[in-house]
Chain A
Amino acid sequence: MTTTAGTREEAALLARARTGDTAAFEVLVRRYEQPVFRIAIRLLDQPDDAADAAQDAFVTAWRRLRSLRDDRTFAAWLYRITTSRAMNIARAKPRTAGLDAVPHTAVRDTAPGPEQRAIAADLGSALAAALRTLKPAQRACWVLRELEGMSYEEIAAMLDTTPDAVRGRIHRARVHLVEVLDEWR
Chain B
Amino acid sequence: MAIEPVSDALPCGRSRAELWEHAAAGRLDDHERTCPYCQEAAGAYEPVRRAGAELAARPVRPPAGLAAGVMRAIRGQLVPGRPINLPAPAGSRLTVSETAATALLAAAADNAPGVSVRDCRFPDPDDPTSVEVTAVLRAGHTAPESAAEVRALITEAAATMLGLAVDRVDVAITDLDDSADRRS
Q: Which residues of A contact B (CB under 8 A)?
A: 19-23, 25-26, 29-30, 33-34, 36-38, 41-42, 47, 51, 54-55, 58-59, 62-63, 110, 122-124, 126-128, 133, 145-147, 167, 171-172, 174-179, 181-182, 184-185
Contact = CB atoms under 8 A, between A and B. Distances in A.
A127 B2 CA distance: 18
Nearest to A181: B47
A124 B134 contact: no
Interface of B: 1-4, 6, 8, 16-17, 20, 24, 43-48, 50-52, 54-56, 58, 60-63, 66-67, 69-71, 73-75, 77-79, 81-82, 98-99, 102, 118-119, 121-122, 125, 134
B47 A29 contact: no
Q: Is the interface of B mostly helix, strand, loop or mixed?
A: helix
Nearest to B70: A58
Contacts of A178: 20, 44-45, 47-48
13 contacts: A19-B125, A20-B78, A22-B75, A23-B119, A29-B70, A51-B63, A58-B74, A110-B1, A123-B51, A146-B24, A171-B16, A176-B3, A185-B47
B134 A127 contact: no
A42 to B, nearest CB: 8
A162 to B, nearest CB: 16
Nearest to B46: A185
Contacts of A63: 79
Given A26-B67, A123-B51, A184-B47, A33 B2 contact: no
